[in-house]
Amino acid sequence: MKHGFMVTVLLMAVFGLTSCNKLDLGHFPWDHGSAPGKGELNLPPLDPQLVQQGKQVFRYWTFGDETFWTDKLQMNKVIESAVSPKTALSVGLKVDAAALPASVITAIEKGQVNLDDPQTTLLLIQANAVLGIKGEVSKNADGTLSLDRVGVTCALCHSTVDNSVAPGIGNRLDCWPNRDLNPGLIISLSPALSQSTKATYASWGPGMYDPRFNFDGKSNPVVIPPAYGLYGLPKAIFTGDGDVEHEPAGPVAYWNRYVSVTQMHGHGYFSDPRLPWTVDYRQNDDLVTSVLPALQAYEYSKSAPAAPANSYDIAAANRGRVVFMQKANCVSCHNGPLFTDVIYGGKLHPQSASVAIDKDYVKRSATKMWRVTPLRGIWQHPPYFHDGSAKTLADVVDRYNQVQNLRLTAKEKSDLTEYLKSL
Ligand code: HEC
Ligand code: HEC
């Protein structure tokens, strides 16, 4: 009797709990474990000292790439003679207000700084205030400044500012993609390049870069992605090339080595048995390998920024989540805590899985597959897809609706868009 009562209570508790879960979570199998935005990553804490070191590397370390940007491309001469602060801002370069004395900030705000004079740019570079640009500036006999050496850092493409002083001038936002930056146009200013190479670089446009052009000669640039929100992903970049199997320091470190050596031309080496070439720019030194763990730790310390308050309609977003999980079935790929199935055993998808306009980029990668892009913080960085072919999140929804024939109503589409804005 006593026993039977206990069993009944136990059964009631179990069933009670189950039906309660179902009610709360809306009967979706995904809500148990890999629901969008749900689930545990259980990642080890990052070493704060390593993170701090990585911040310095991210912002200021050139890996010795002055041998390329100065000795080969002669960008120091280009900047010195022709790049005024106005020009620099117009190609998307950003200025760190915290690196400037208060008197200079006030003068900028009052319009008293000559933003048409390349000499002012040199002053900014001397103060370490131009994001991603590291230079050595010296004074000539006549009092003018010279840019003797110049190199670039990771902050060039992967950081921006909050515009608190003026457009392009403010506090640093490390790991946010600089979608204003026109790296191709900047490189095209080098006198060391042929006319046709210059024309290709100049054609890419703001926020775009092709990290494979210098190997296969194809011009097929991709958007500069965020370097935040990546901790827990076993594979890095759109095509998932970066993994621990090909870089013991980690998936993001794989790609950091790739870019610092093969694109920035830092002193280091890169090789991957899946790719047909090896690059060795070591000059009796390796300025890359030893900083990779710190650099990666800094990137991992940056989570995706939360959507600003009042930037989306909460009720619509809640309805949109249901569309995401049911009718549109986005959850079949964008699931789990980071909205990507790559965390489950490093899953990648074939070429046809992308609804971007360009389909060819993937063929140039090591994997020839797509990683499902994590969606946290997407409100922050339009345009979308690797080729930037969707200008807004509403365009993303329209694209999926059309390509996957989802038959969403106008209301379902706008609800789904609000949900995407909330991630
Ligand atoms: C000239 C611009 C440029 C510079 C400089 C640059 N990157 Fe990138 N970065 C890109 C582009 C473009 C991609 C996308 C490549 C792809 O997915 O195929 C990318 C991808 C990444 C990713 C992958 C993000 C993800 O979703 O997995 C990380 C992390 C990253 N970069 C960090 C860095 C670091 C650290 C440095 C310095 C060593 C650096 N980048 C230098 C343009 C740049
Ligand atoms: C078959 C797997 C799959 C499904 C289903 C899927 N996606 Fe994706 N999603 C991807 C892949 C792969 C990418 C990267 C494509 C690219 O960049 O070319 C991506 C990219 C995105 C991006 C761009 C992110 C960025 O940072 O640029 C958004 C937004 C997105 N998906 C939302 C959705 C929504 C909304 C749905 C449902 C309507 C959906 N996805 C369904 C695989 C999928």
Reported as a single tens digit per residue, the pLDDT across 74-105 is: 999 999 999 999 999 999 999 999 999 898 88
C-beta of 281 in contact with ligand 2 (< 6 A)? no
How far are the Cα atoms of 4, 38, 330, 352, 398 from residue 373, in angstroms, in the given order?
52, 16, 12, 15, 18
pTM for the structure as a whole: 0.91
Give me the CATH topology for the region 2-43+306-422.
Answer: Cytochrome Bc1 Complex; Chain D, domain 2 (1.10.760)
In a mutational test of the pocket of ligand 2, which residue from 329, 369, 385, 422 has the highest number of ligand atoms less than 8 Å from its CB?
385
Ligand 2 centre distance from Cα of residue 354 (Å): 7
Reported as a single tens digit per residue, the pLDDT across 308-324 is: 999 999 999 999 999 99
How far are the Cα atoms of 55, 116, 280, 327, 376 from residue 284, in angstroms, in the given order?
26, 41, 11, 58, 42
**Tokens 């897809």, residue located:** 385
**pLDDT above 90: percentage of residues in the chain:** 84
Helices 118-126 & 75-82, crossing angle to 10 degrees?
Answer: 130
Is the model's pLDDT at 69 over the cut of 60? yes
Reported as a single tens digit per residue, the pLDDT across 244-291 is: 999 999 999 999 999 999 999 999 999 999 999 999 999 889 999 999
Three-state DSSP class for residue 269 = strand
C-beta of 52 in contact with ligand 2 (< 6 A)? no
Report the pLDDT value the prediction gives residue 360, as an integer from 0 to 100: 93
- Partners of 146 in the beta sheet? 138
What kind and span of H or E run contains 173? Answer: strand 172-174
For the CA of 211, the nearest atom of ligand 1:
12
Which DSSP category does 275 fall into?
A: S
For the CA of 400, the nearest atom of ligand 2:
38
Reported as a single tens digit per residue, the pLDDT across 120-174 is: 999 999 999 999 999 999 999 999 999 999 999 999 999 999 999 889 999 999 9
| Ligand closest to the CA atom of residue 262 | 1
Domain boundaries, given as residue ranges, for the chain: 2-43+306-422, 63-222, 227-300
Reported as a single tens digit per residue, the pLDDT across 44-54 is: 999 999 999 99
C-beta of 179 in contact with ligand 2 (< 6 A)? no
- Where are the alpha helices (H) located in 61-147, listed in sequence order? 66-69, 75-82, 85-90, 102-109, 118-126
| Ligand closest to the CA atom of residue 375 | 2
The distance of Cα 347 from the centroid of its chain, to the nearest Å, equals 20
In a mutational test of the pocket of ligand 2, which residue from 222, 339, 355 has the highest number of ligand atoms less than 8 Å from its CB?
355
Output the residue whose Cα is nearest ligand 2's atom 2.
333
Ligand 1 centre distance from Cα of residue 223 (Å): 10
